[in-house]
Amino acid sequence: MSRRQPGWPLLRQLSGPDRLGRGAAVASPRTRSLRARTASADRVVKSVCPYCAVGCGQNVYVSAGRVTQIEGDPDSPVSRGRLCPKGSATLQLTTGPSRVRQVLHRRPHASEWEPISLDAALDMVADRVIESRRKGWEWEAGGKRVRRSMGLASLGGATLDNEENYLIKKLFSALGVVQVENQARICHSSTVVGLGTSFGRGGATTFPADLQNADCIVIQGSNMAEAHPVAYQWVVEAKAKGAVVVHVDPRFSRTSALADLYVPLRAGTDIAFLGGIINYVLAEGKWFEEYVKAYTNASTIIREDYTDTEDLGGVFSGFDPETRRYLPGSWQYEGTTVNAASGARDQFHRAEPGGEGDRAGGASPQRDETLQHPRCVFQILRRHYARYTPELVEQVCGVPQASFRRVCEAVTDNSNRERTTAFVYAVGWTQHTVGVQFIRAASILQLLLGNIGRPGGGIAAMRGHASIQGSSDIPTLFDLLPGYIPMPHAHRHETLRDFVDADSTTRGYWAHLDAYLVSLLKAWWGPVAMPDNDFCFDYLPRITGSHSTYDTVVEQLEGRCKGYFLFGENPAVGSANTRLQRLGMANLDWLVVRDFSLIESATWWKDGPEIESGELTTEEIGTEVFFFPAAAHTEKAGSFTNTQRLLQWHHQAVEPEGDCRSDLWFVYHLGRRIREKLAGSTDEMDRPLLDLTWDYPTEGRLDEPVAEAVLAEINGWDAAGRPLSSYTEFAPDGSTVCGCWIYCGVYAGGVNRATRRIPHLQQDRTGSQWGWAWPANRRLLYNRASADPAGEPWSERKAYVWWDDQERRWVGHDTPDFVVDRPPDYQPGEGSTGPDGLSGSEPFVVQDDGRGWLFAPTGVVDGPLPTHYEPQESPFTNPLHVGHERNPARRLYPRPGNHLAADPASPGAAVFPYVLTTYRLTEHFTSGGMSRHSPYLSELQPALAVELSPELAAERGLANGGWATIVSPRGAIEARVLVTERMTPLTVQGRRVHQVGLPYHFGPNGLVTGDAVNELTSITLDPNAHIQEVKALVVDVRPGRRPRGPALRRMVEDYQRRAGVTAETGTAV
Amino acid sequence: MPTREQVRSQIEAGVGYEEAGRRLGVPAGQAYLIATGVPADGSGSLTPEQLARPGFIRGGVQELLGVAHHNPSEHPLVEGFVRARVEADEPMRAAARARGVPDHAR
């Protein structure tokens, strides 16, 4: 402008060229000074959202050494540039006001934190580890060699990079620590067993973008639109193409609002619902006959001594009521034994009760291809689900028969050669005492309908943390080694060969367990691992049962576990029975917390609920606490594995400030210090630690370990130093190294394929050149099943991979999940093993028999078929199995503080008449440790609210916006009341039942606070996955705020008295 | 401000958006926006019509914003790390030789 602009916008408009006031006239001086982040940035760094497991691509803008903006990456085939509120707010994870950047130390019995240098703190922690390890050391347990320490434990992290989880598991295993767990235990451990035993791999069979190819999508046990909002765009795409969307859930949500059919059901009754659909499919003849006969174990004949729950009043054959365990031998195939690809795989070891041999049988299963034999799986399935009628579904689930039939019709009308149906689920299915069986039920249904391995079909397990899939694959879990190799159990005189014989399969890819395990041992112990010492197999500590995070809490309460690491996890809010979590921590000698802000698990000793109630006094708590501030995802490099098994690399944009460090830095340098302190030790206990390969290169001012080097070890290399490309290159002779066999290929050719970022508009439908998915960059698993036994697509519309007779190979839209040049008519020779032992028409290549398992002969400890049992806490009896109301094999922890509700038929049941279910909000994340410290997110969701129906509100005198106290047999919390028709009262067994809902993100710390909902929940576990039941419990709801101080415990104890609840209540088989 | 026709004529003549922008006196990303109506930073959903517009580039236009992208796929220290591990592991190399496969050449 040639003349000075007047300050008033109206005058500028009238006097300048912008007479319509559309642009220059209305620009204020501040606006004119703004620069687009694209103009001011020095660089934009490729990254991935650190919140949920969708794995939205992010662009991180950096200017003058500071992160200035974080946006969605429009090139991502996963997210197409979108971010939900959490992803949009991740800038504050880097720049937010609540971040701590100084190491803090709480001396035993102190009332305040003191700053301490990072160096001094790390050294002190190293000393604590050495001491607690030694004090808790066991060479033997129960007469069996264990070589481990029960003196310390670790929890976290699903929010950590794969490389960080790898070093945690590696170091802690070498230290002899078996109590290593993370959020995967409490979220989706059921998925590993449920999908793994059914199909071979314990991860989602499909990827969210493939949902756009579905003709019907059933979302159940999930509020996908709110918990995985960006992935929900693919459901919307499917709907725009004419797909039918069905939402089955206790609560009407945004997912329901976009569904064609919403079906409310009683929380915890999904097996009855899915079993009803299975019965409908079988009774109406809607199963995909050719697929079922060729690709499942429907024709396999089961042992003669197998007896079903229908004949034994609610238990399967082999149940021991004294131990509450099953001996599963009678579930096996007639004439042979097979091993599972997941779940319990050591069941037939000769040292186990009922063990029948060392190795899977090897003989081919006996089959009746007519499916008429009374003991063939198909007939067993028919009889097992014969009583799961629409009437039963209505009686148990509260779903009107007409609604149920509409679901059945939608699913079966859209499942055949031309059409496919997908199932989507999340923790609404996993977090139950029968969580694994929920998933097995869906797996059975999808196999019967012929939807597995086909586009628009499959089962999408929607996981909930940035790398929780990764923290299962490279597991900071007690019962697994990387790549789902079982953690070895203690057995007498067990050798590597003993272990391989017990846990491998005869056919399929698990037949090469020895190669995977030896390559892992070589990665960990390098030149020391040799054939004559079983490749240091004895260095691995042994488990002797469950060492889940909940067992660790018991170990803490009983004084045996004295040290604890928390890596980005917040059990004082996020784990079941938070009061016991805190009481356990109050019994520790020391606690290390690594996080961005002072979460509840770091501060419970000074401001937790037990301090408020007077149950604990700060000065009497002897736990020494270290708080180490963690680096944000923008401040470190590493890979996340999202819910579709996709590894995506996030680069470091800026260095962390102050004492903030990555967990990679922390674990590496902690390990380095411990090794230095123990250098020269002649104690045999220390050999695994001192022989460990722990020589990663570091770089930069902070000596940050090079994450790519860790990834290269995870990928593996050969004796010439060449990165391996595939697990088919492994050998069991010690000539190959690989930290995680299922990840082999991510660093093939020396290129970090997790960094690949070819824009989705330039790619095929699978987006295969973005990141790298295990296994072998396949996006849709078991895709051989998308073609018929002859190798032809079932239909042109659903063609995915097929046999090209000219090229003599499998071709198509994805990496074939099959030996690429194996023709459809291939038949294995006598005695063939491994993948060569499967025919050209057996698509489930990790399974011992190459088939999808309708019936699980092994691997699932509480039954080969899903059976409806009531949740541990329920207002209703089980109409199917009187006398076995609940899962007889569920894991219980009867103790003070973990009281369970009275049986539904007892007088005390009326004290807790309502069903509580828990859920997520879009704007918060898990235990709130990240989101409640974000100003943006806190503003969007500032308060805990209990959702309940108008009918219940009237019944209990609850006012919308007012306060309510929610009481369970264990605790009491308060919340604002949100009266809504979204919570539908149901009619079950002839009477009305109300369900109430609570999001579980709140706790006493942060910018927005509230009571932790897990004050109400119990430690009652699924026996396969050791996952807690927090999706269905019983409560009372009363108006008004809860008591403070000692009056709070008195109120809970009064409820317990009125309900007749003791520590033994609810523990009957 | 250049018109759509001005930008498109540059593109149709085989000039890229960076050069077109330089010639017309606007940033490359703005030239792209003028020509296609689609922002180069990828914001906003794309309709089928937008995808078919003259001058539209299917993905990878973020570089037109003029900000250096950081996404390396290799790290200079990894190869040496792996080589050192292999050199230190004679039993591994012996096993490879026994199997008749190449081991690390000294």
pLDDT digits (tens, 9 = 90+) for A896-923: 999 999 999 999 999 999 999 999 999 9
Q: Of A636, A708, A715, which to mutate for an interface test with B (greatest number of B Cβ within 10 Å)? A: A708
CA distance A709 to chain B (A): 5
**Residue scoring higher pLDDT (A37 or A968):** A968
Instruction: Kindly indicate the confidence band of residue A361, based on its pLDDT and cuts at 50, 70 and 90.
Output: low
CB-CB neighbours of A453 under 10 Å: 29
Asked whether the beta carbons of residue B104 and residue A41 sit closer than 8 angstroms, the reply is no
Rounded to 10 degrees, the C-alpha dihedral A899/A901/A903/A909 comes to 140
> Which residues in A lie closer than 8 A to residue B45 (C-beta atoms)?
80
Q: What single string gives the DSSP state of each residue in A736-788?
A: EE-S-GGGTTTTGGG--GGG-B--GGGS-TT-TTBSEETTTT-SSTTGGGGB-
> Which residues in A lie closer than 8 A to residue B65 (C-beta atoms)?
38, 44
Does the structure show a pLDDT above 70 at A348?
Answer: no
Q: Which residue of A has its CA nearest to B40?
A: A74
For residue A378, the one-letter residue type is: F
> Which residues in B lie closer than 8 A to residue A529 (C-beta atoms)?
91
Each residue's pLDDT tens digit, A760-785: 999 988 999 999 999 999 999 999 99
Q: Of B46, B47, B62, B85, which to mutate for an interface test with A (greatest number of A Cβ within 10 Å)? A: B85
Does the structure show a pLDDT above 80 at A25?
Answer: no
Asked whether the beta carbons of residue A44 and residue B70 sit closer than 8 angstroms, the reply is yes
For A74, the 3-state DSSP assignment is coil
* pLDDT computed for residue A6 by the predictor: 63
CA distance A72 to chain B (A): 8
Asked whether the beta carbons of residue A719 and residue B75 sit closer than 8 angstroms, the reply is no
**Helices A496-503 and A513-525, interaxial angle, to 10°?**
140
**Helices A663-678 and A118-135, interaxial angle, to 10°?**
60
Cα→Cα distances A968→A334, A649, A906, A937, A1033, Å? 47, 43, 16, 29, 8
**Helices B28-36 and B4-12, interaxial angle, to 10°?**
100
Asked whether the beta carbons of residue A751 and residue B65 sit closer than 8 angstroms, the reply is no
Shortest CB distance from B43 goes to which of A81, A696, A733?
A81
Asked whether the beta carbons of residue A697 and residue B89 sit closer than 8 angstroms, the reply is no
Asked whether the beta carbons of residue B73 and residue A752 sit closer than 8 angstroms, the reply is yes
Asked whether the beta carbons of residue A43 and residue B69 sit closer than 8 angstroms, the reply is yes
Shortest CB distance from B82 goes to which of A41, A72, A712?
A712
Cα→Cα distances A943→A25, A499, A681, A840, A975, Å? 41, 52, 54, 57, 8
Nearest to A460 by CA among A778, A645, A208, A777: A208
Each residue's pLDDT tens digit, A364-379: 889 999 999 999 999 9
Does the structure show a pLDDT above 60 at A4?
Answer: no
Q: Does residue A781 contact residue A774 with C-beta atoms inside 8 Å?
A: no
CA distance B84 to chain A (A): 9
- Phi, psi for A198 (deg, rounded to 5): -75, -40
Q: Which residue of A has its CA nearest to B85?
A: A526
A contact residues 692-711, partner B, Cβ 8 Å cutoff = 693, 695-697, 699, 706, 708-709
Asked whether the beta carbons of residue A731 and residue B70 sit closer than 8 angstroms, the reply is no
* pLDDT computed for residue A492 by the predictor: 62
d(CA A955, CA A959): 11
For A333, the token pair is 């195939």
Q: Does residue A462 contact residue A424 with C-beta atoms inside 8 Å?
A: yes
* pLDDT computed for residue A1003 by the predictor: 97
* pLDDT computed for residue A16 by the predictor: 83
Q: Which stretches of A408-473 are assigned E, i.e. beta strand?
A: 421-425, 459-461
Q: What single string gives the DSSP state of each residue in A1012-1045?
A: -GGGS---EE-TTT--B--SSEEEEEEESPPP-T
**Can you count the helices (H) and strands (E) in chain B?**
6, 1
Omega of the bond leading into A775 within 30 degrees of 0 (cis): yes
Asked whether the beta carbons of residue A693 and residue B85 sit closer than 8 angstroms, the reply is yes
A to B CB pairs, distance under 8 Å: 163
For residue A113, the one-letter residue type is: W
Each residue's pLDDT tens digit, A458-485: 999 999 999 999 999 999 999 999 999 9
Average model confidence (pLDDT) across chain A: 95
Does the structure show a pLDDT above 70 at B104?
Answer: no
d(CA A198, CA A214): 21
Asked whether the beta carbons of residue A721 and residue B104 sit closer than 8 angstroms, the reply is yes
Q: Domain map of chain B by residue range?
A: 4-65, 72-106
Return the DSSP state at A543. B
Asked whether the beta carbons of residue A527 and residue B96 sit closer than 8 angstroms, the reply is no
Shortest CB distance from B42 goes to which of A81, A693, A737?
A81
CB-CB neighbours of A610 under 10 Å: 18
> Which residues in B lie closer than 8 A to residue A761 (C-beta atoms)?
51, 58-59
Each residue's pLDDT tens digit, A256-297: 999 999 999 999 999 999 999 999 999 999 999 999 999 999
A891-1059 sits in which CATH class?
A: mainly beta
Percent of chain A with pLDDT over 70: 98
d(CA A214, CA A458): 9
Q: Domain map of chain A by residue range?
A: 1-34, 190-339+347-462, 891-1059
Does the structure show a pLDDT above 60 at A358?
Answer: no
Supply angle C-alpha A304, A307, A311, rounded to 5: 135
Q: Which residue of B has its CA nearest to A759?
A: B59
CA distance A714 to chain B (A): 12
Helix or strand (DSSP H, E) at A516? helix A513-525
Asked whether the beta carbons of residue A720 and residue B86 sit closer than 8 angstroms, the reply is yes
* pLDDT computed for residue A2 by the predictor: 43
The neighbouring-strand residues paired with A218 are: A246, A423
Pick the CATH number of A190-339+347-462 from 3.90.1150.10, 3.30.830.10, 3.40.228.10, 3.90.1310.10: 3.40.228.10
> Which residues in B lie closer than 8 A to residue A756 (C-beta atoms)?
73
Cα→Cα distances A816→A201, A477, A811, A843, A851, Å? 16, 30, 7, 10, 17
Q: Which residue of B has its CA nearest to A713?
A: B82
Nearest to A746 by CA among A768, A774, A720, A727: A774
Q: Which residue of B has its CA nearest to A711?
A: B78
Does the structure show a pLDDT above 60 at A530?
Answer: yes
A contact residues 526-555, partner B, Cβ 8 Å cutoff = 526-527, 529-531
* pLDDT computed for residue B106 by the predictor: 45
For A30, the 3-state DSSP assignment is helix
Asked whether the beta carbons of residue B69 and residue A46 sit closer than 8 angstroms, the reply is yes
Q: Is A1047 on the interface with B (CB under 8 A)?
A: no
Rounded to 10 degrees, the C-alpha dihedral A1022/A1023/A1026/A1032 comes to 10
Does the structure show a pLDDT above 90 at B65?
Answer: no
* pLDDT computed for residue A31 by the predictor: 82
Q: Does residue A794 contact residue A417 with C-beta atoms inside 8 Å?
A: yes
Percent of chain A with pLDDT over 90: 91
Shortest CB distance from A759 goes to which of B60, B73, B103?
B60
- Look up the pTM and report it: 0.96
d(CA A1057, CA A893): 20
* pLDDT computed for residue A350 by the predictor: 53
State the average pLDDT over residues A300-314: 97
Instruction: Kindly indicate the confidence band of residue B43, based on its pLDDT and cuts at 50, 70 and 90.
Output: confident
* pLDDT computed for residue A400 by the predictor: 98
For A979, the 3-state DSSP assignment is strand
The neighbouring-strand residues paired with A648 are: A640
Q: Is A847 on the interface with B (CB under 8 A)?
A: no
Q: Which residue of B has its CA nearest to A718?
A: B103
CA distance A727 to chain B (A): 16
> Which residues in A lie closer than 8 A to residue B80 (C-beta atoms)?
697
Supply angle C-alpha A78, A936, A254, rounded to 5: 55
State the average pLDDT over residues A662-687: 98
Does the structure show a pLDDT above 60 at A683?
Answer: yes
> Which residues in A lie closer than 8 A to residue B39 (C-beta atoms)?
none
Instruction: Kindly indicate the confidence band of residue A643, based on its pLDDT and cuts at 50, 70 and 90.
Output: very high
> Which residues in A lie closer than 8 A to residue B105 (C-beta atoms)?
720
Omega of the bond leading into A157 within 30 degrees of 0 (cis): yes
Q: Is A23 on the interface with B (CB under 8 A)?
A: no
Asked whether the beta carbons of residue B82 and residue A721 sit closer than 8 angstroms, the reply is yes
CA distance B19 to chain A (A): 18
Cα→Cα distances A1059→A248, A905, A1054, Å? 32, 12, 9
A contact residues 622-681, partner B, Cβ 8 Å cutoff = 651, 653
State the average pLDDT over residues A99-106: 97
State the average pLDDT over residues A430-439: 98
Asked whether the beta carbons of residue B69 and residue A44 sit closer than 8 angstroms, the reply is yes
- Phi, psi for A289 (deg, rounded to 5): -60, -50
Shortest CB distance from B71 goes to which of A527, A750, A755?
A755
Q: Is A955 on the interface with B (CB under 8 A)?
A: no
Helix residue spans in A621-739 (DSSP H): 663-678, 687-690, 707-715
Does the structure show a pLDDT above 60 at A5?
Answer: no
> Which residues in B lie closer than 8 A to residue A753 (C-beta atoms)?
73
CA distance B27 to chain A (A): 10
